[in-house]
Amino acid sequence: MNVVTGTQMQDLDRRTITEAKVPGLLLMERAGTGVVEFLRKRFGPLRGKTVTVLCGKGNNGGDGLVVARLLRRQQARVTVFLLAPVADLSRDAAVMYRRWLRAGGQSASRNFRSAEQAGPVLGSSDLIIDALLGTGLSTDVTGLYRDAIQLVNRAGRPVVAVDIPSGIHADTGAALGEAIRAAATVTFGLPKLGLYLGAGIDHAGMIHVVDIGIPAAFVDALDSRIMVVTEKLVAKALPVRPASSHKGTFGHAGIIAGSVGKTGAAALAACAALRIGAGLVTVATPNSVNDVLEAKLLEAMTLPLPETKARTLARSGLDRIAAFIQARTAVAIGPGLSTHPETVELVHSLMKHLDRPAVLDADALNALASRAALLTACKIPPILTPHPGEMARLEVDATSQSVNADRIGTARRFARERGVFVVLKGARTVIARPDGLVAICPTGNPGMATAGTGDVLTGMLAGLLAQGVPAWEAACAGTYLHGSAGDLAAQQLGEAGMLAGDLIANIPHALQAINR
């Protein structure tokens, strides 16, 4: 599904109205209907619920007035606060205001004046609907709008934003002075870029997209190189498992990982590769830690290899590792390898041996710091899975701050320049491919900000590659399922207490949840 800027969405609306001859009022009606349907599914029967709808003067406010009218039809107790005089409403919003009054909303309509007036109403609401400011906002919120947003955020009630949380820039995700903190955002037509960037991530909550009838041909004509990963894309990417299958059908993943004190990273990656469906997994690891790793793994195999005095993989094992790679369907390199100088040299030498699908993570990426040009030796473009710090070390003159300030641009630029696939981890992980297409992963939560979850992702990607899933589809599907497994774990355990192993336990449930 394409992700659009505010201007692109406005152009789509305009073309739909002028070229497809769909009246703007009908689009507004569909938008409001979609919000109410979401509310019913998310919060249960609406009858008797106390709902406060805050409406601005533009079309976002018009959408809110449709929501108010339809909620009243559902026998909810609705109050509408207008942030502007009726005479200042946009043409379509004014029409929807008259329809709201005809539906019996006159006694439930108020002009927003102060916190003292509106505060008690908001505080006693079961739900608050934010329809104050839409995607056209480009300057800081001031005046009554600022007061209203502050009051809503202090009310402590569930807030559902209409199209975009008021105060969030539709393109950058920046909070313009003050911004609504929503539990959920119901956005129309296509998701807006700002919902997945910057402060928009924290303010949007759950994102739900409503189809309002934008013609597919208009969407296809967009010059958009950013998409959001959907369940449909993931379902299409996952391999079929025929009844006649055996373990060889689903590939043999090789994982080159581990060192003294870091066998956990290797074990997590191996288990994740198996849980995502790989038929066989073997971990190549330093000789002296092999027994420790074997004790942690029941279903995966291990291969002990020559090591340094520091008990990390030694360069003398290059030929054996090259042979190991040749005997595997796909490989992952990096979890827990360490940055011992000899191990770093080994990683450098391995690049020219990568003639099959591969994932480079963790210490493999650290080994390539300032040596990213070595990636050109890979015969098949690998998937790189850096966090912002690792990405900064791969880039010239970059910092974690500069990477986070332009996550999409950074991932896209590096993927293009180096001819690789990039999975830039973080809140709303960004996936980029060599031709410049970028995808944003909508799944995942702060509970995944804990040791080992990156190793789980590496294993999942290696497992999908081993099953023959192409790199782009593997990167998108693996990242989505990784986040879904984390979301399931958070539902069961809460975010603070989550461990990387909890993600692995939920990979099968994440797979089952995909509607195929």
Is 190:214 a contact under the CB 8 Å cutoff?
yes
- Residue 273's pLDDT is 98
CATH number for the domain running over 233-513: 3.40.1190.20
Task: Return d(Cα 454, Cα 362) in angstroms, integer.
Answer: 8
For 29, residues 6+ apart whose C-beta sits below 8 A from its C-beta are 66
pTM of the model: 0.94
**One digit per residue, pLDDT tens: the chain, 516 residues?**
899 999 999 999 999 999 999 999 999 999 999 999 999 999 999 999 999 999 999 999 999 999 999 999 999 999 999 999 999 999 999 999 999 999 988 889 999 999 899 999 999 999 999 999 999 999 999 999 999 999 999 999 999 999 999 999 999 999 999 999 999 999 999 999 999 999 999 999 999 999 999 999 999 998 889 999 999 999 999 999 999 999 999 999 999 999 999 999 999 999 999 999 999 999 999 999 999 999 999 999 999 999 999 999 999 999 999 999 999 999 999 999 999 999 999 999 999 999 999 999 999 999 999 899 999 999 999 999 999 999 999 988 899 999 999 999 999 999 999 999 999 999 999 999 999 999 999 999 999 999 999 999 999 999 999 999 999 999 999 999 999 999 999 999 999 999 999 999 999 999 999 965
What Rg do the C-alpha atoms of the chain give, in angstroms?
26
> For strand 438-440 and strand 226-228, is the pairing parallel, antiparallel, or unpaired?
parallel
- 6-223 homologous superfamily: YjeF N-terminal domain (3.40.50.10260)
The 10 Å Cβ neighbour count of residue 322 is: 15
**Of 483, 466, 396, 379, nearest to 431 (Cα)?**
483
**Of 373, 405, 379, nearest to 392 (Cα)?**
405
Token reading at 478: 């693996």
Please state the domain extents for the chain.
6-223, 233-513
- Residue 485's pLDDT is 98
- Residue 516's pLDDT is 56
What does each C-alpha distance from 410 to 5, 43, 73, 148, 386 come to in angstroms? 18, 39, 48, 36, 11
6-223 and 233-513: same fold? no
**Of 500, 466, 501, 293, nearest to 383 (Cα)?**
466
Task: Return d(Cα 454, Cα 461) in angstroms, integer.
Answer: 11
